[in-house]
Structure 1
Amino acid sequence: MDKVLIAMSGGVDSSVAAFLMKEQGCECIGATMKLFHNEDIGVSRTKTCRSLEDVEDARLAALHLGIPYYAFNFSDDFKGQVIDRFISSYERGATPNPCIDCNRYLKFERLYERARILGCDAIVAGHYARIEQENGRWLLKKSLDESKDQSYVLYSLTQDQLAHTRLPLGAMHKSETRRIAEEQGFYNADKPDSQDICFVPDGDYAGFIARYTGRDCPAGDFVDESGRVLGRHKGIVHYTVGQRKGLGIAADAPLYVKRIDAAENRVVLSSNDALFSRELMANDFNWIAYDVPPRELRATARVRYHQREQAATVTVLEDGHVHLVFDEPQRAITPGQAVVLYDGDTVLGGGTIL
């Protein structure tokens, strides 16, 4: 009988994942990662912290299932590996995906370490993706419910982590997950899915960075592609590639953020047509399907979470960087975001766009 540690977020997915593992006869332990306190994210102590609400929801689900439950304080790790990286990325003019860093450094590293200490054979998560072994190699595959597929944010998993991770929802549709939760009487059966970054619940990234760091990002120039000054921006952390709203620039035609020049504190604006490009470079690449990838391959790629994959030719350079040339131009390829490669429903690997 496997002993497993269930990563319980307080949501319906992880609660049903715990139920399914218990139904399979596993010895289950529930665990929630306590990632931040109100004061960490600039929220008044008098307000109910969503992080604490999630811990309580997870505790209730574990109690309902009759399994042991722990809440682990990983707030220092979360600050260093997620929040600080998030802020540094914006200040460099890039647009980060903190959920990828949280999975990489917290859930599948720190929580995985706790699972081993507790003598568990695997950790269990409520992600919609599949893990399968083929020819002695562990592979990450898309969820059968492609509308909920989360393989994009799991591309950093190693062979060892894949071998010791269970994703019981990968072959299910979200409607089935809700149905099971309702049939089992879970308190959180109707809890909405989270749509925002947990530590920026109001979606105001620039406001969060100012509150958290205690410093203002300096204003600078909006310029066109030739360098002509078009106006003043509020600070580069307010902008991301492809953005149109909130620029405050009067022009004969719509303008969009094409590039952020952090070194010169400039935001380059262009027409929408100028946002399309066929090439990108990426680094910090993690290959799942290969120990050593081929120098060149054909694949499909996502450059943002919910994008449909696009065909590309991939070249692996000697320094490990990866060069992609898409068959068709892609809009607003954004530094800091992940590019994830697929062969059908199998994740080949992924990295960070430069």
Structure 2
Amino acid sequence: MNSLGFAKAPAATRVVVAMSGGVDSSVVAALLKEQGYDVVGVTLQLYDQGLALQKKGACCAGQDIYDARQVADRIGIPHYVLDYENRFSDAVMQDFADSYLAGETPIPCVRCNQRVKFRDLLDQARALEADCLATGHYVQRAIGAGGAELHAAADPTRDQSYFLFATTQAQLDFLRFPLGGLPKTETRALAERFGLPVAMKPDSQDICFVPNGNYASVVERLRPGAAEPGAIRHVDGRVLGSHGGVIHFTVGQRRGIAVNDQATSNEPLYVVRVDPAKREVIVGPKAALACDRITLREMNWLAGAAADLPVTVKIRSMSKPVPARISVSGDCAEVIFDAPQFGVAPGQACVVYRDSHVLGGGWIRRNEAASARTAA
């Protein structure tokens, strides 16, 4: 077996590398080329290059396409740029806008992996007669008793498994993640050893198509007139002020809540929930964010449903996994935390783990039962 798990020489193994123009995917291409694999680089143009050039740290447009081509030339591999702008808009950006209008906090990176990179790009890799598709994600792929498994990265500070929970078993069979066992410092060192022009390039930001981190401006551009004003209401029913649109708020948010301090005794206020139908933002003290259970939709299981089993779950990309139990019903599930959690936002993902093994996950759904518990 070669290092990618195929019973043939590296030279007889074709690998398509998804090259975003960043250091991680560039190192993947260089490593596999050094190991003797038949490497083909593919970069996706996902959104308007003019918009991308306004933002440092963006990926998949403008300067990053140029950087990916420079790396491919440096290591001597063929490189293709595919225009997926319309697909990305339809599958990711429109969903992003609709989620904010529904009072949710979306994760477009997951949708991009689910609907574009691990679907359309994977199909393109097969069309190029590749044996696998390699990416620069910091996750690990292991072979278990039931086949390929998805595991968290060896370096917990770089782990990206949260963003890959929607990967299917068929996709995981075809995917490879060469950086999953490395710390970022080693990746940077490899980039320097290979003489890659992106060796010191800053990491890309999570949401590539949002200029300057202004999510609301993107939503307003996609949905003109979306930012309708409304009331800021305390959980006890009092109206404390007004806002310029629910798209500016997310559950757990503390900054940017403009209210009359005299009406709140200067207590710190957090967004407890967003009601788009009434155009209201409900706020309250931190205690009002406490939540002992959540309901999930669109469950994706990579290792069989973990019904009524003790597991750990992540409810935000940067949070640590916390103990919980899960009750499964079709493609939905209820997660019961061992201890209350704070600031659980609808539209975010809840990813289920057993140790480092990613069992699956789903999207946190906004419903009255969960909202009532949150506000209790």
TM-score (norm. length: structure 2): 0.89
CA distance in 2: counterparts of 1:243 and 1:295, whole angstroms: 32
* 2:20 corresponding residue in structure 1: 9
Does structure 1 conserve the Cα–Cα contact (< 8 Å) formed by 2:52 and 2:211?
A: no
Among candidates 296, 306, 312, match of residue 318 of structure 2: 306
Letter in 2 for 1:121: D
Find the residue that maps to 1:51 and give its secondary structure.
Answer: coil
Question: For the Cα contact (< 8 Å) 2:15–2:133, is it kept in 1?
Answer: yes
Counterparts in 2 of 1:60 and 1:158: CA distance versus 1, 3 Å: same
Does the alignment pair 1:63 with 2:73?
yes
State the Cα deviation string for residues 52-75 of structure 1 (Å, max 9, x = none): 100000000111110000000000
- Residues in 1 aligned to 2:60 and 2:91: alpha-carbon distance in whole angstroms: 20
Distance 1:28 1:94 in 2: 40
Counterpart selection for 1:324 from 317, 335, 341: 335
Once residues 60 and 110 of structure 2 are traced to their aligned partners in structure 1, the CA distance between those partners, rounded to angstroms, is 20
Amino acid at match of 2:344: I
Name the amino acid aligned to 1:307.
S
Deviations 1:166-206 (A, max 9, x none): 10000111111000100111100000111341111311111
Distance 1:165 1:62, change over 3 A: same
Matches within 5 A, 1:142-221: 142-221=152-231
Separation of aligned partners in 2, 1:331 and 1:186: 43
Q: Is residue 35 of structure 1 aligned with residue 46 of structure 2? A: yes
State the one-letter code of the partner of 1:315.
Answer: S
How do 1:213-252 and structure 2 match up within 5 A? Answer: 213-249=223-259, 250=261, 251-252=264-265
Which of 11, 18, 32 in structure 2 is aligned with 1:21? 32
C-alpha contact (below 8 Å) 1:137/1:289 kept by paired residues? no
What does 1:120-131 align with in structure 2 at a 5 Å threshold? 120-131=130-141
Query: 1:348–1:182: structure 2 CA closer, same or farther, 3 Å change rule?
Result: same
* CA distance in 2: counterparts of 1:66 and 1:84, whole angstroms: 37
- In the TM superposition, structure 1's runs of 4+ consecutive aligned residues that sit over 4 Å from their partners are 41-44
Partner amino acid, structure 2, of 1:18: A
Q: Please say if residues 47 and 60 of structure 2, whose CA atoms lie closer than 8 Å, have aligned partners that are also in contact.
A: no
User: SS at the partner of 1:147?
Assistant: coil
State how far apart, in whole Å, the 2-side matches of 1:302 and 1:343 are. Answer: 11
How far, CA to CA, are the matches of 2:328 and 2:48 in structure 1? Answer: 42
What is the aligned length? 347
- Note closer, same or farther for the CA distance 1:42–1:238 as it changes in structure 2 (3 Å cut): farther
Alignment of 1:285 with 2:296, yes or no, is: no
Contact in 2 for aligned 1:196/1:203 (Cα 8 Å): no
1:47-106 CA deviation, whole Å, 9 max, x = no partner? x99711000000001111100000000001100111000000000000000010111111
Q: Distance between the aligned counterparts of 1:236 and 1:294, measured in 2?
A: 35
AA partner of residue 340 (structure 2): P
User: What SS is found at the alignment partner of 1:60?
Assistant: helix
CA distance in 2, matches of 1:49, 1:181: 18
The 8 Å contact of residues 283 and 320 in structure 1, kept in 2 or not, is answered as: yes
The answer (yes or no) to whether the contact 2:254–2:270 under 8 Å persists in 1 is yes
3-state SS in 2 of match to 1:202: helix
Corresponding residue for 1:76?
A: 86
Deviation of the 1:146 alpha carbon: 0.9
Alpha carbons of structure 1 residues 227 and 94: separation in structure 2 relative to 1, 3 Å: same
- Answer yes or no: is the 8 Å Cα contact 2:45–2:60 preserved in 1: no
Counterpart check, 1:272 vs 2:286: yes
Structure 1 residue 136 displacement after superposition: 3.4
Q: What code does the residue aligned with 2:108 have? A: P
1:255 paired to 2:269: yes
Where do 5+ consecutive residues of structure 2 fail to align? 1-11, 366-376
The 3-state SS of whatever aligns with 1:299 is strand
Deviation track 1:259-291 (CA, whole Å, cap 9, x = no partner) reads: 00111111111101111111100010110112x
Q: Post-superposition shift, 1:43?
A: 7.8
SS at match of 1:148: coil
| Residues 171 and 42 of structure 1: CA distance in aligned 2, closer, same or farther (over 3 Å) | closer
C-alpha contact 1:37 1:49 (8 A) present in aligned 2: no
Contact kept? 1:42, 1:211, Cα under 8 Å: no
Could you state the TM-score of these two structures normalised by the residue count of structure 1?
A: 0.95
Distance 1:37 1:16 in 2: 26
Give the CA RMSD over aligned residues. Answer: 1.6
Q: Is the 8 A contact 2:97 2:222 kept in 1?
A: no
- Residues 62 and 79 (structure 1), Cα distance of their counterparts in 2 relative to 1, 3 Å cut: same
SS at match of 1:330: strand
What code does the residue aligned with 2:324 have? A
Q: For each residue in 1:91-136, what CA deviation from the matched residue of structure 2 results, as whole angstroms up to 9, or x when unmatched?
A: 0000000010111111100100100111111111000001111113
Percent identity, please.
Answer: 40
Output the amino acid matched with 2:93.
I
Alignment of 1:312-351 (within 5 A): 312-317=324-329, 319-351=330-362
